Amino acid sequence: MARIQNLKFAHRLFMRAYRYRSFDWSPGAHFNKALSESKFVLVTTAALYLPEQPPFSHDVRGGDCSFRELPGNVDVNQLNIAHRSSAFDQTGARKDRNLVFPLDRFRELVAQRTLGTLNHRHFSFMGSITAPGRLISETAPAVTQLLQEDQVDAAFLVPV
């Protein structure tokens, strides 16, 4: 189990002192459809990107809050990983991208008719963002607008 007290010293110090941000989402959206009739999108913060896309930057102060669109028919193990955080072990994700972006599992759920459909695109961020102002005001709203255009019914989000 991951706990702040078990992280590396530098991460622990930072995360103890850090003032976490929140964003008022109230009153919350009501999910009133059957899973088997719903369209899902995946959002990962594992910094996955296609070989032909630019990698996430490790040089942006406060963290690169840009995102990459991942096509729904992507072969997940062809995705590159650009994560800058040294707080976690990437060995598992390099072996099986579903560990951080479980698209194959969701495809299986659709094939079993547990879920309705998957969106034709999914989204990847690099989660190590210490100054999330632009994430909240620009890039997360940009993804949200695309999800509204796509008429997605629910989003499934995965950190690393």
Residues that bind another protein (CB under 8 A): 1-4, 7, 15, 20-25, 28-31, 35, 43, 45-46, 63, 85, 87-93, 95-96, 98-100, 102, 104-106, 108-109, 115, 125, 127-130, 132, 135-136, 140-141, 143-145, 147-148, 152-160
Cα separation, 118 vs 57, in Å, equals 29
Q: Is the peptide bond between 141 and the residue preceding it cis, with omega within 30 degrees of 0?
A: no
CB nearer to another protein: give 53 or 104.
104
Closer Cβ to another protein, 60 or 155, answer by number: 155
Least spacing, CB of residue 50 vs another protein, in Å: 20
- Closest approach of another protein to the CB of residue 70, in Å: 15
- Give the closest residue to 119 by CA, choosing from 157, 79, 147, 158: 147
Q: How far is the CB of 52 from another protein (least distance, A)?
A: 24
Do the Cβ atoms of 137 and 143 come closer than 8 Å?
A: no
Residues 160, 139: Cα–Cα separation, whole Å? 19
- CB within 8 A of 114, min separation 6: which ones? 35, 36
DSSP type of residue 126: B
Which two structure tokens, joined as six digits, stand for 73?
């028919």
Closer to another protein by Cβ: residue 34 or 54? 34
35/52 with CB nearer another protein = 35
Whichever of 53 and 90 has its CB closer to another protein, that residue is: 90
To another protein, the closest distance from the beta carbon of 26 in angstroms equals 8
As a whole number of angstroms, the longest Cα–Cα distance in the chain is 47
